[in-house]
Structure 1
Amino acid sequence: MSYCKNCGHKISEEQQFCPECGKQVEAESIPPMVGNEAPQPALKGMSRKTKMLTISAAAIAALTFGAYYMVNKTMTSPSAVVDNFIEAVQKQDVKTVKKIVNEGQIELKANEKQVQQFLTYVKDNPQVLASMSDELKEEVSLYETQGNTVQTDEVNSSYAQLKLDGKKWVLFDHYTIRVQPAYVEVTSNLEKADVYIDNQKVDTIKNADESQTVGPFLPGEHEMKLSTKGDYGTVEMKQTIESTDSDEAISADFDWGDHYVSLYSDYFDGTVFVNGKSTGKTVEELGYIGPVNLDGSVEVHAERKFGSKTKKTPAITLEGDIVEAELYFSMSDDFDDVSTEVDASDSIDEETDIEDAVRSHYNYITSDSFASAHDLFSSSRKSKVDLSDWKKGLQANISDNVTNIEVLDVDGNEARAYVEMTSYDDNNDGTHLVQEWEGYWSLVKEDGEWKLDSADLEKVDSRVE
């Protein structure tokens, strides 16, 4: 048996060419092995360059295997991914957690504010981190023992889940952390309200009183806000919601009832004004206003014409727990300033006496007791209005019907009252002249009794019946 001088391959005696390298076989053969020395044909016949290349390739292979082992162990293995995540959460490392969370999410992309809220929630609730860590380590054990055959539903993760997500850099299995997103069931008795979570708009309420799923968002404590643009400005309601590992769904119920204020008045035909601007509707037509903010930013009052003058009610500020705005024209001081304060019970008695004086005057006219009606005039008015002449002007009168009377103010011995009255006169042809009057009577107190002093009445309607 001989050997090829070129490559050292064994050659039988009958072979003329080397079956390995194709070199022609020379007659001289390689001397036989001496003692225990073994032939080294593979390297002996190599050039220096070939030897260096062979050694370099072996070294590169060894380094590559070592690098693969280290990368897999410290960066891409299930335990490495979980350890990096838990460490970042413990250190409150917002940027690292944000990167890990968004890499494993398909439902949402969290911003730094949301991640910070998540980390704050975990920090304030240590049991959350403990539970999350235990669950993830349990999943690491499954992947290490079962490999890629692990079913994603084998671990009931409350907060986070380890998932195999394809390959990384071609060679390595890619594992991600999927933080379980939270959702909330929102119910609102007002539709078309915009839904915000942590001041970020996420949805709009479509139907009133119907539950609507809103999300996703990261677990933790969040501020949920509903905002609607009403006729009287933008109104907002807020609630704090918190996701937990409970099986119960998160729910938020928004009732806008507290943002509606009923309207009441002694004259329901008065026009309602909000922040000085007319609504174009009466107290009766509106019934209530809302939704409105009850933070003192809204004022409401009513206006109504009494004869030739317009009277305003005091403005009511809508704030606190107000449920009804009482728009009383009788409380207005638009006409005269009241400088003398009187006891409430005395004031009521005075108002009753004033009303009685006005009503009695017209009742006496209706019953043709003209002298008694004239006697209810003040001494000043009597000096100007002669009884006989005044009586002649009332001969056709059938009745004077006072339909409304309101004492506007009382100041010592002077008072002012608003009166609405309908008079009926005989036309001597079987018909009646009906006239409606509105205006004011000024009264003075003489000898302890209220007397009619001067009138400012206007005819607002006239018809024949």
Structure 2
Amino acid sequence: MRNFCKECGKAVSETMRFCKHCGTEITRNVPKNEAPLQKTETHAENNKNNTQNQIQTRKTNKGKKVLSKKQKIMTGLFGLLLLGGLGFVIWGNYYYSEANTVKRFRDAFVEGEAGTLQKMVTVQGNTISKEEAEAITHLLTEDDDYDFEFIKDKNPEKLFEELPVFKVAASNKKALLFFDQYEIEAEPQYVSIYSDVQGVETTFNEKEFPMLEEARSYTEYGPLAPGVYEAKSAYQTDFGKVDNRKTVVLLSSENEYESEVEVSEVTLSVSKLYELPYDSIQFMINEEKVDIDMEDDDVTVGPLPLDGSMELTGVAKTGWGEVNIGPIALTESYQDVEMDLLNDQLKEAMSQLILSFSEDYVEALAQQDASAIENISGALQETLDYDLFSYTDGNGFSGSLDEVGISFTDMIEVEDNVYEIPVQIKMTGTYDKDGDPEEIKKDAVFQLQYNKNNGEWNVFYFNESYYTTGSNLEFYEVSGEEHQGVTADDSDEEADSEEEELAEIEVLVENYVYDLVDAINAGDYSLVEGNIAPGSDFDTMQKDLVARLYDAGLTQEVLSAAVVDMTEIDSGEWEVTTNETIVLNYSSGETETEDYQWVYTIELTEDGYKITNLE
């Protein structure tokens, strides 16, 4: 059975896999039944037509080269690149054009895009900083009075009319290595910051800019881009850093502003209220120690900030404890500093001394005897005996002490370490045994002496006939004890009583102490010889002492002298013990303070009591 190609209808052998006439694959599955004749003829006709078409196709293909798949892809890519490159050139020429550069600058300015402005704006050919770009954006937000037309009209070109510190200019750099481009040139800004002190440093928007010139009264900075800056001026002092911030607008080439940093040297005028003594004193400004020479009337410190942040304090060490001074806010270039060393502790010590004296004083008025007043010198007791009782009729005061007012604010220094204080003594009573009690006010004055060596106070002087009342009396409570006054008695007129004798001896010794110092300082023995028994060994010894110490250039000063004991060892002979504090001033300039305890021998002579020996 013969086989035929289904495509071209020509006979093929059974062993062929492809038709040798048309190349069609031969199907081996041949139906058992023979196909109808009409179908065979139609099929043969189709095969004939197909064969002719294939022959024609082969002829055509012989004249045209077929592209591979890779070649087709490459061809497509090339076309796309060509179109993309053309579009890129068109975009670049537009984007970097002068007109679009102006528009981009305007848009970035209005929208406050500091990053874009930083890339576009230059000052003297250099790209501006982030801080400068932010300053440009602040031109729109600093003041409501800014009303730029180029924003309303959306006309970028008007920007340069309203802000002539900016202009567009061709850049000498290529954009993307290919395109000509433009940039916004900003007029360089220079600003002088004036200050009262040299050394004030200023930053703008927290950035340091070049310092062109530093003069005594100003510092010039620049160049900066135009804009609105926060200028922070700072000055470093020995006591801390002070700064001031202010908004500055830079829209002209030269700008001037005051730093307004409140810094200045401060002159301290230090004075002591009451001139009270102290051992040492340390001043501090904000806990930083400051050395101040108290011998100078005015002391200059600083420079310091005068914004109230600096406070002057001090600690004075005194015999009655530490006294705090201040705090005093330093806000002026001239500052008065008053040292008030009269603290509560000192007031307590002084007031107790005055109150104790006042209680004894009323007792003395009642007894008509100054010896009732304790803890005073014999010399003061003798003075009080004369002052208080010379003009009385001998009748004592009957009544009580009501209260005592002390005016510390009127205290003054009358001599070294001696302070006078007005006091008012209020009593109720009478000097007439048959009279009715009445209120009595006595304006008196106390003089209190301070002993630097032991830190104690004593009554140096008292006068009950003071001419004025203290301006600010502080009243203190007292015991209110009732006293019964003595009456006049002829027996009181007996002379040479033991009390008078003791007072005379005590005055003699105290006068000797002070007179001896005067004699040594003056080189004049006559100033003291009246207290010494003439012709005695003690007389010769003291005459030699005065001459020797004067020649050595030694001077002395009595700080205190008090009789502490008196003992009669024989009729008309006494031993008197004293405690003395003497300052020794050597010719070398060295000074010493010495405490002495002496035992004097006092004998009654034809000229009265005299000193005959000293141990």
Kindly report which structure 2 residues correspond to 1:231-242, keeping only aligned pairs within 5 A, or say none.
231-242=238-249
Q: After superposition, give the CA deviation of every residue in 1:240-269 in whole Å (9 maximum; x if it has no partner).
A: 321135x6x211234666543321222599
Question: Is 2:113 aligned against 1:93?
Answer: yes
Kindly report which structure 2 residues correspond to 1:66-465, keeping only aligned pairs within 5 A, or say none.
67-73=88-94, 75-101=95-121, 106-107=125-126, 109-111=128-130, 114-123=132-141, 124=143, 126-127=146-147, 130=150, 137=157, 158-166=164-172, 167-202=174-209, 207-245=214-252, 249-254=254-259, 258-267=263-272, 271-283=282-294, 284=296, 287-303=299-315, 312=323, 314-318=325-329, 321-330=331-340, 332-333=342-343, 335-336=345-346, 348-349=409-410, 355=420, 386=503, 388-395=505-512, 397=514, 428=525, 429=546, 431=550, 434-436=555-557, 461-463=584-586
The code of the aligned residue for 1:172 comes to F
Are residues 196 and 185 of structure 1, via their aligned partners in 2, closer, same or farther at CA, if it must alter by over 3 Å? same
C-alpha deviation, 1:89, in angstroms:
1.6
SS of residue matched to 1:83: helix
SS of residue matched to 1:168: coil
SS of residue matched to 1:214: strand
Q: After superposition, give the CA deviation of every residue in 1:40-86 in whole Å (9 maximum; x if it has no partner).
A: xxxxx99898xx9999989976765554234312x011001111111
SS of residue matched to 1:292: strand
**Is the Cα–Cα contact under 8 Å of residues 136 and 162 in structure 1 kept in the other structure?**
no
The code of the aligned residue for 1:193 comes to V
- Which stretches in structure 2 are left out of the alignment for 5+ residues? 1-62, 352-405, 422-444, 451-459, 465-498, 526-545, 561-578, 589-615
The code of the aligned residue for 2:337 comes to L
C-alpha distance in structure 2 between counterparts of 1:266 and 1:187, whole Å: 35
**Is the Cα–Cα contact under 8 Å of residues 320 and 346 in structure 2 kept in the other structure?**
no
**Is the Cα–Cα contact under 8 Å of residues 264 and 303 in structure 2 kept in the other structure?**
yes
SS of residue matched to 2:119: helix
C-alpha deviation, 1:275, in angstroms:
3.3
SS of residue matched to 1:328: strand
C-alpha distance in structure 1 between counterparts of 2:230 and 2:310, whole Å: 25
**Is the Cα–Cα contact under 8 Å of residues 182 and 216 in structure 1 kept in the other structure?**
yes
SS of residue matched to 1:209: coil
**Is the Cα–Cα contact under 8 Å of residues 270 and 298 in structure 2 kept in the other structure?**
no
- Which stretches in structure 1 are left out of the alignment for 5+ residues? 1-44, 141-154, 363-372, 402-422, 440-455
Percent sequence identity over matched residues? 15
C-alpha deviation, 1:119, in angstroms:
1.2
Q: After superposition, give the CA deviation of every residue in 1:124-174 in whole Å (9 maximum; x if it has no partner).
A: 45445749999973799xxxxxxxxxxxxxx99723121211332344211
C-alpha distance in structure 1 between counterparts of 2:315 and 2:288, whole Å: 11
Structure with larger RCO (C-alpha < 8 A, sep 6+): 1
Question: Which of the two has higher C-alpha Rg?
Answer: 2
C-alpha distance in structure 2 between counterparts of 1:221 and 1:457, whole Å: 79
TM-score (normalizing by structure 1):
0.56
C-alpha deviation, 1:311, in angstroms:
5.4
TM-score (normalizing by structure 2):
0.44
The code of the aligned residue for 1:86 comes to R
Q: After superposition, give the CA deviation of every residue in 1:79-135 in whole Å (9 maximum; x if it has no partner).
A: 011111111222222332333236x77446322x54334213224454457499999
Q: After superposition, give the CA deviation of every residue in 1:331-380 in whole Å (9 maximum; x if it has no partner).
A: 5426436799xxxx965556599627577999xxxxxxxxxx87669xxx
SS of residue matched to 1:202: coil
C-alpha distance in structure 1 between counterparts of 2:581 and 2:157, whole Å: 91
C-alpha distance in structure 1 between counterparts of 2:80 and 2:461, whole Å: 131
C-alpha deviation, 1:313, in angstroms:
5.2
Cα RMSD of the aligned pairs, angstroms, is 5.2
Are residues 212 and 66 of structure 1, via their aligned partners in 2, closer, same or farther at CA, if it must alter by over 3 Å? same
Are residues 116 and 278 of structure 1, via their aligned partners in 2, closer, same or farther at CA, if it must alter by over 3 Å? closer
SS of residue matched to 1:287: strand
The code of the aligned residue for 2:169 comes to K
The code of the aligned residue for 1:315 comes to G
The code of the aligned residue for 2:209 comes to V
Q: After superposition, give the CA deviation of every residue in 1:395-434 in whole Å (9 maximum; x if it has no partner).
A: 3635999xxxxxxxxxxxxxxxxxxxxx957663453863
**Is the Cα–Cα contact under 8 Å of residues 197 and 217 in structure 2 kept in the other structure?**
no
Are residues 129 and 171 of structure 1, via their aligned partners in 2, closer, same or farther at CA, if it must alter by over 3 Å? farther
The code of the aligned residue for 1:80 comes to N
**Is the Cα–Cα contact under 8 Å of residues 427 and 433 in structure 1 kept in the other structure?**
no
The code of the aligned residue for 1:281 comes to I
* Residue 149 of structure 1: aligned partner: none
C-alpha distance in structure 2 between counterparts of 1:299 and 1:191, whole Å: 23
The code of the aligned residue for 1:394 comes to N
